[in-house]
Structures are given as structure tokens and as C-alpha cells.
Amino acid sequence: MRLLSPIKDHHSERRLFAGRVLLAGVVGTLLLGSVITRLVQLQVFDHEHFAEQSHGNRIRLEAIPPTRGLIFDRNGRVLAENLPAYQLELIPEQVDDLDETLTRLAQLGLIDSEDIPQFKDLSKRGPRFKPVTLRFRLTDDEISQFAVQRPRFPGVDFQPRLVRHYPYGKSAAHAVGYVSAISTSDLNRLDATAYAGTAHTGKTGIEFFNENRLHGKPGHRQIVTNARGRQVPADARELSQALVEGDSPRPGLNLHLTLDIDLQQTATDALEGRRGSIVAIDPRNGEVLALVSTPAFDPNVFALGMSGSEFRTMQTDPNQPLFNRAVRGNYPPGSTIKPMLALAALETGATNLTRRTMCQGYYTLPGSSHRYRDWKPEGHGQVDLHDAIAQSCDVYFYEISRDIGIDRMHDYLSAFGLGTPTGLDISGELGGLVPSIAWKRGAFKGRENQTWFPGETVIASIGQGYMLATPLQLASATATLAMRGQRFRPHFVSALDDPISGERTPLSAETLSKVDIENDFYWQSIIDAMQDVLQGERGTARAAGLDAPYTMAGKSGTAQVFSVAQEEEYDEEDLEERLRDHALFIAFAPLDDPRIAVAIIVENGSSGSRVAAPIARRLMDQHLGYGDDALQ
């Protein structure tokens, strides 16, 4: 009989179960061993590394912006400083209704309604726990007004900050420049690390050109944050354990300028109500004593922030208050270049000190009937080079211009620095233009427009036509005349000082290539003629200089704004103001030891002798210690 197999094999099942238990035990032991090993590694061997990482997760480095360096004039008066102020800030995550909050702030007059879209955009871009600045400076009245309403504005508060302040406002605006909020274009050129925590940067003038010196180096501090990166309060024990002392910010260097703010203000007052520019330089070293462009603007409104409508109003003002005429204004130099051309004529043999010309009020080129008119319709009669400068005879220079030639004019005027930027330590300088045959060939398209004509040489001899110069270039060229050819690069910064160490570093003047004139007697001859412009019996500006207690030399100039037909006559008094001639004047004093050289341009001022020369006298009087009221 066949035996039936058991339905269940208990022995096999026990053996299988035992194997599985053993396997599970081994696996569990291995897993537990790996966990224990990892815990030992983390808690013992790698404790210091991961403790530092954990500390870093809740400790965030926050940049501390540096204090911007101060700017002083030559006598130690502050031109740019940092003042404590309260600014209005909004934290987006604490504001329930952003639109309503901004609208109510506008109704209180604390922000401009047209800036609301910009504030909304800024609130959405960054982390919602970071504040957005709505106003850079609040007045005491505005702080009081907001303090009363404060409970109605959760998430909005005022915080103490340092803001840039310019004590002399408009007087030094174009020279010193201004700072304003960092823009997108600024971020493209600035080192983001160096400007962490900084809201402003230099935009124009000395503030822009010396940004690297003035800015300083940011510091850092460590703050306790939660998992979302927000700062959280911590008790003293936590802070002492979690925070280490951060590195302190290093303030920017202080700048000491060559600018004389008293002379600067006098120059500003002299141009009050006019469009124009004044530049004064010390001929002995190139120090810029004054640099004025009018009308000007108040740089404080940029440092404090202005509305879009305010900025557009300033931009579209026909008088262009933002335009720095001193370094960017290109004007026909008029007769102010005659002393330099006279030296060129003597050097090249185009004239001599005894040659006389009959001035009958006009000049014609050989074979042409076109008349190039003198400023004096009846003419000057017989004149030599001395008379031609003192009385500003155009005909004399028309005649000798053909023998000099435009290319030699170009070479000599360029040697005085005309036609190229001077290299002044300020932003935005333009170069002007001294034409030549090669220049015209490259500047125009079409062969018929590339030819240089004799008539263009004639009008170039009195600083008209294509010729252009900035007031700064004219002042620098005048300083070169005063120093008999010795040249210095114009500059503003005379010294730097470290506010921490107190160490002061003087900056030396930079000499430039000298204007070489073979016969030194020519220098004195031209300067004598320039002296007679102001102190001679027949000089064009004798009314401004005859009673001066010191010797001075100058040259007047008038630049036409529009062309006049051959036979057309006009009375300037009947012209619209902006169509009148520009008035120019250059001067320096004293003759034996020049200490000041000035260039003045009054747009549409009509006469350099009547309008610009008295201003030059006023500036020289003040700088040389004779008061500024000699002509009043």
C-alpha cells in the first residue's frame, strides 16, 4: 500500500524561516552598523565641519556700506558731506494692501503718485522681507506728520541713514557733481561685491571721476536668520555663541580740491540770470580755481531722490541746467585765438612786428569780390600786429591767414591744447575742434565737400567757421600764454587723506609739452599787446582794466550764432536774445607773476568787451586780494 506524503513539511518551513531571520538579522545589523558608523563620523570625526555649516545656515552675512569720503575746497571748507537723515521704508510682507498703502502715502504728500508703479515693481522683485526705500530724506514736518498716522501704515516706517549733502548747492554743482541712486547701467560697470549695501554712486563731476577713491570698502556683520532667511531676534547668549565680530567698513578717502569756493560763488553770481561759463586756472601749476556753468541745478535733489516729473522738467528746460558748458560746451572761440595765431604768424614768417596793414573795414581774397567784414565797419586804418591784437582788427588777421595756412594754424593752436580734451579730472569733457585739410577730407562725404577753400582759412583766423573750443580749453590756453609756453594739465584734486590714519597724500602737478617759440621776445610782444587790450588807451576792453592796481592782459572775442548775408545789416538789439552773438573774454594777471588765468563765455551776450571783460576783472580783483567790487 502506497504511503501518502504529509500535507505540511514543518521541518522545511522551520529551516526556511530560520534562514530568513538570519538574513534579516545580518542585513539589519549591517544597516544599523552603517547608521552608527555614519553617526560616529558626523558627530565625532566631522563634527567641526558640519557644525560650521549648520552655523552658516542660520547666520547670514549682511553688508555694511562704507561712509563716503568728504570733499573740501582749497581752504578746507566742506563741499560734499554726509548728514544723518530719516528715510521712509516699506517692508512688502508686512503690508496687507500695497496699492492702498501707497495711495494713502501719496495723499499725505510723502511720495509722488506717479512713482507708485515703480515702488510696486521694486516690492515684487526682491525678497518680501527686505525694505524698499520710498523717500531718501524726510523733513521734520514730514516725520511728525507720519508719526501721527503711523498706526494706519503697518510695514511702513522711517529709518536713520546717512545721505549726501552739498552745502553750497548750485554754486559748485557742475564741478563737484552729485550722487544718485544706483541704476541698472551703473550695476553693469560697478563691482557688485564692493557696492553691496550701497544705494548711491557718483553720477557726474568729481563725484563720478573719483568714485573709486570716495566710495571706500564695505564691511560685513553676521545676523541670525530663520529657514526663510529672515532675521530673527536672539538673546545675548545665542548671539555670543553664534556671532563673531564682523569686519568693519573702511570709509572712502577725503578729497582736497584746488577749487576756491569764494571765487566759485563770485563767478556764479556774475553769471546770474545768464547762460554761460567761467573757468579760472592758476597758470603756475594747472590748479582749477573756479569752474562754473550756468544755469545750474541743486545737486541735493538728486542725492535725496526726485520724482520722474521733476527730472523730466529739468531735462527739457531750454536753458539746459544739467549741461556742463565749461567742459562740454563747444563754442566758436572768436578773436580770443588771435594772440596764439599771432605767435604762429611770427614764427612762420607770415608777418613781423613792424608790418602794417590798411584796414578799411573789409577784406577780399585776390580774384574775389566777396567781402570779409571787420567788426568795425569804418575800419581801423593803418595797424601793425600790436594794434591788431589790442584793437582786435579782423582784417589784419584775414590778410596774414593766407600765409600761415590752415594746417599750420591747426598745428600751433593744437600745441596750446585747443581741439583735444585737457584731461581734467572730471567726467564728460569734450574736445572741441581745430580744423585742417586732412580733417575736412575725413569729415565729409562727397569730393565737392572735402575740398578746403581759402575763404575757410580766412574765417578760421578769427575763430569762426568750423573751429570750436570749450571754456576749459580756452582757460588752459590762456594759462599757457601767461607762462610763455609752459603748460600744466588742469586738475582739481590736490591731496587725498585717509580718515582713519589721518595720513595726507599730496598730488603733484603734471607738466605737459611746452609750446616752443624760437624767439622768446615774441612772447613779450604778444603779452604787451594783450595788456593794451585792458590797459591801453585804444584797447577794446580798456573800460574794464584802466584803473586796476595791478598789470593784466586779456583778449576779447565775439562769436556769431548765425550767418549774415554779404550785404545784410542788422541791429543786435532787434534780434531775438538767443540769436545774438556770444561774448567771450580771456585774461590773466599779474603779468610778471601770473597767478590767475580766466576764460569767460556768456551765451548771446553780444560783446566780449562790454559783458565778459568786467566779469574777468571782478574775478582777478578778488583772487589777487583787491576785493570784488572794483567795478560796482
Selected catalytic residue, list 171, 293, 335, 494: 335
Nearest to 462 by CA among 558, 352, 533: 558
Give the type of residue at 424: L
Which of 299, 322, 271, 253 is CA-nearest to residue 494? 253
Distances (CA, A) of 451 to 343, 360, 446, 464, 630: 27, 30, 9, 18, 50
Count helices and strands (H / E) in the chain: 25, 22
Cβ–Cβ under 8 Å, residues 499 and 216: no
Q: How far is CA 520 from the centre of its chain?
A: 38
d(CA 75, CA 494): 12
Q: Is the dihedral of CA 75, 80, 82, 84 positive or negative?
A: positive
Any bridge partners for residue 600, and if so which?
278, 585
Phi and psi at 150, nearest 5°, equal -55, -40
The bridge status of strand 287-294 relative to strand 276-282 is antiparallel
Query: Would you call 185 a catalytic residue per the annotation?
Result: no
Helix (H, G, I), strand (E, B) or coil at 490: coil
Q: Which 3 state secondary structure label does DSSP give 231? A: strand
Task: Tally the residues of the chain.
Answer: 632
Q: Which residues of 245-257 are buried (b: 16+ CB within 10 A; e: fewer)?
A: eeeebbbbbbbbb
Rounded to a whole number of angstroms, the CA Rg of the chain reads 37
Positive or negative CA dihedral for 150, 153, 154, 156?
negative
10 Å Cβ neighbour count for 355? Answer: 15
C-beta separation of 393 from 383 below 8 A: yes
DSSP alpha helix (H) spans, 320-465: 325-328, 338-348, 385-390, 394-404, 406-415, 437-443, 447-450, 454-460
- Please choose, from the candidates 476, 463, 435, the residue with its C-alpha nearest in 3D space to the C-alpha of residue 331: 463
Pairing between strand 372-373 and 553-559?
A: unpaired
- The residue whose grid cell reads 544599523 is 32
Task: Give one DSSP letter per residue of 151-191, joined into a string.
Answer: GG-TTEEEEEEEEEE-TTGGGGHHHH--EEE--HHHHHHS-
SS3 of residue 122 by DSSP:
helix
Q: Are 575 and 247 a contacting pair, CB within 8 Å?
A: no
> Contact at 8 Å (CB) between 105 and 155?
no
Of 137, 170, 162, the C-alpha closest to 299 is 170
Point out the residues that are catalytic: 335
